[in-house]
Amino acid sequence: MSKEIQLLAVAKSYGPTVALEKVTMTLQPGQVQAILGENGAGKSTLVKILSGVVSPDSGSMTMDGEIYAPRSLHHARMLGVSTAFQELSLLPNLSVAQNFFLPHALKNTLGMPAKKRMQQQTEAILHNHDVFDIAPDIAVENLSLAARQRVEIVRAMHLNPKLLILDEPTGALADVDWLFRLVHRLTALGSSVLYISHRLAEIREIASHATVLRSGKSIDTVNLQQVTNDDIFALMVGRRAGQATQAHSRELPTTRNQRLVTNDLCGVAFQDVSFELHDGEILGVAALEGQGQRELFRSLAGLMPASAGQMVLQGKVVTLRNPREALSAHSGIAFVPEDRKSEGIFPSLSTAANVTPSVLSRFTRLGMVNREKERVAISSVAQQVELSQRYLNFKIGALSGGNQQKALIARALLSGAKTLLLYDPTRGVDVGTKEIIYHAIRQFVGDGGSVLVYSTDLPELQALVDRCLIMYQGRIVDERTGGNMDESEMVSLMTGNAARSEVVSA
Alpha-carbon distance values, 391 to 196, 253, 336, 394, 400 (Å): 24, 37, 20, 5, 11
pTM over 0.75: no
Residue 283 in contact with residue 304, Cβ under 8 Å?
Answer: no
Mean pLDDT, 10 residues at a time, the chain of 506 residues: 83 85 94 85 91 95 94 94 86 92 74 84 96 94 89 93 93 84 96 89 93 91 91 74 47 74 94 96 89 94 92 91 80 88 85 81 72 81 90 88 91 91 89 90 95 90 94 93 81 68 37
User: First CA to last CA across the chain, in angstroms?
Assistant: 62
Q: Are strands 450-454 and 282-286 parallel, antiparallel or unpaired?
A: parallel
Alpha-carbon distance values, 6 to 2, 17, 59, 231, 466 (Å): 10, 25, 11, 25, 47
The per-residue pLDDT for 288 is 78
Query: In angstroms, how far apart are the furthest CA atoms of the chain?
Result: 75
Report the C-alpha gap between 430 and 453 in whole angstroms.
18
Q: Is 251 left (phi over 0), alpha (psi -120 to 50) or beta?
A: beta
The per-residue pLDDT for 424 is 92
Residue 25 in contact with residue 165, Cβ under 8 Å?
Answer: no
Instruction: Supply the Cα-derived Rg of the chain in whole angstroms.
Output: 23
Residue 283 in contact with residue 466, Cβ under 8 Å?
Answer: yes
Nearest to 55 by CA among 6, 3, 14: 14
- β-sheet with 258-267: strand ranges across: 270-278, 258-267, 308-313, 316-318
The per-residue pLDDT for 272 is 97
Q: Which amino acid is at 312?
A: V
Q: Are strands 258-267 and 270-278 parallel, antiparallel or unpaired?
A: antiparallel
DSSP-derived 3-state class of residue 64: coil
Report the C-alpha gap between 18 and 15 in whole angstroms.
8
Hey, which residues does 265 pair with through a beta bridge?
273
**CB proximity list for 184: less than 8 A, separation 6 or greater:** none
**CB proximity list for 101: less than 8 A, separation 6 or greater:** 118, 122
What domains sit in the chain, N to C, each tagged with a CATH number? 5-93+139-237 (3.40.50.300), 259-332+419-432+443-498 (3.40.50.300), 343-416 (no CATH)
Residue 428 in contact with residue 444, Cβ under 8 Å?
Answer: no
**CB proximity list for 462: less than 8 A, separation 6 or greater:** 248, 468, 485, 487
The per-residue pLDDT for 324 is 84
Alpha-carbon distance values, 360 to 142, 326, 350, 379 (Å): 32, 17, 14, 15
Residue burial 11-34, b: 16+ Cβ < 10 Å; e: rest? bbeeeeebbbbebebbbebebbbb
Instruction: Read off the DSSP letter of residue 388.
Output: -
Residue 490 in contact with residue 174, Cβ under 8 Å?
Answer: no
The per-residue pLDDT for 497 is 65
Residue 485 in contact with residue 286, Cβ under 8 Å?
Answer: no
Report the C-alpha gap between 165 and 186 in whole angstroms.
12
3-state helix, strand, coil in the chain (%, to 5): 35, 25, 40
**CB proximity list for 427: less than 8 A, separation 6 or greater:** 168, 171, 172, 338, 405, 456
φ, ψ of residue 335 in degrees (nearest 5)? -115, 130
Report the C-alpha gap between 491 and 97 in whole angstroms.
33
The per-residue pLDDT for 243 is 42
